[in-house]
A = this chain, B = another copy of it.
Amino acid sequence: MMKTLQVALDERSYPIYIGDNLLSQPDLLTQHIRGKEVLIVTNETVAPLYLQKVLDRLTAYRCEAVVLPDGEEFKNLTVLNQIFDKTLSSQFSRSVTLIALGGGVIGDMTGFAAACYQRGVPFIQIPTTLLSQVDSSVGGKTAVNHALGKNMIGAFYQPQCVIADTSTLNTLDDRQLSSGLAEVIKYGLINDMEFFVWLEQNMSALRNRDQTVLAEAIERSCRDKADIVAQDEREQGVRALLNLGHTFGHAIETGMGYGTVLHGEGVAIGMVMAAELSFSMGWIAESDCTRIKEILVAAGLPISPPKELTTEQFMSLMSVDKKVQNGKIRLILLKAIGQAVISDDYSADKLAELWA
């Protein structure tokens, strides 16, 4: 069973395919490859599981693979250069297609490499984690990290298509699955109360990897995200809502050292902080905060900031966020569950207090 969603971005529009065993379908992938050259970018964890499966689809192409180390701590310019080492030593031309086979780190790096190689070549996303299937593979944000800030070096660059094969989630470890659920819950909080309630009801089925329920959650998440991206591709306005929990989360990820706290874990803690700040402003009820914490705990996620980071470190890390405008951090806060807003109308003292 396969569902197809279209991300509507004029001449950069592309389909997202969602379903089980999609990697075994003969032409799904190849119909989106224009030239005769392909580079698969994957990592040490995913390669033994799925690389051969993808290679089997590509026997008619001149195809190479580059296997990167696994983890957020490798999402940097130095490891990015290993992709260019491979494209150039393989003498791949401007008509090469890059394929990202892996999670969010692989997708972000491959997309950015595709944006830059010879000033732009096509690429395809094959996300193999829940997080990348519901979030990072959709919307064209690509980037690598800098020691001083997450996702600070990157490009807006859309793929030719996204192939989200839900069967690949069977090999995902529990902590990674939970990390992905943080982004799923995020869509409910932003603008989809109905979805939030559905998630409360279906959380154990999701954690038990019920394929039908997972496919439903992925489709709904992708649709919610695609709707927002179609309105605001380059994040001039409404797209910033998708960063609910992320400014806090990025600060935590960067401060703790990339890879220590998973992205979704940072986002979960960040969403709790956003909720508590919203509560302290009188925008939402204490019961809303409780409900948010409960669904995150049910999803197997942390809800308290790590004690290792001081308030000072945290505040300094927050201030290099991409959403800083005129020296003030704009945060995504909540007017209700299912109603996020962009705001700089909060007190910095309260923010610091919250951390402490």
A residues whose Cβ falls under 8 Å from a Cβ of B: 36, 77-78, 80-81, 84-85, 88-89, 91, 93-95, 115-120, 141, 143, 146, 148-149, 152-156, 234, 319-320, 322-327
Contacts and interface: CB of A to CB of B under 8 A. Distances in A.
A120 B85 contact: no
Copies in the complex: 2
Contacts of A319: 91
Contacts of A153: 84, 116-117
Contact of A120 (B116, B117, B156, B326): B156
Nearest to A329: B93
A119 to B, nearest CB: 5
A141 B119 contact: yes
Contacts of A85: 146, 148
Main secondary structure of the interface of A (DSSP, over half): mixed
Contact of A81 (B77, B155, B324, B327): B77
B77 A324 contact: no
A320 B115 contact: no
Contact of A152 (B77, B84, B323): B84
**Residue of A95, A153, A324 with highest tally of chain B CB at under 10 A:** A153
B325 A93 contact: yes
Given A93-B322, A117-B153, A120-B156, 4 more contacts: A119-B234, A119-B322, A120-B155, A120-B234
Nearest to A112: B116
A205 to B, nearest CB: 36
Contacts of A143: 119
B324 A154 contact: no
User: Which of A81, A89, A93, A141 counts the most B-chain CB atoms under 10 A from its CB?
Assistant: A93
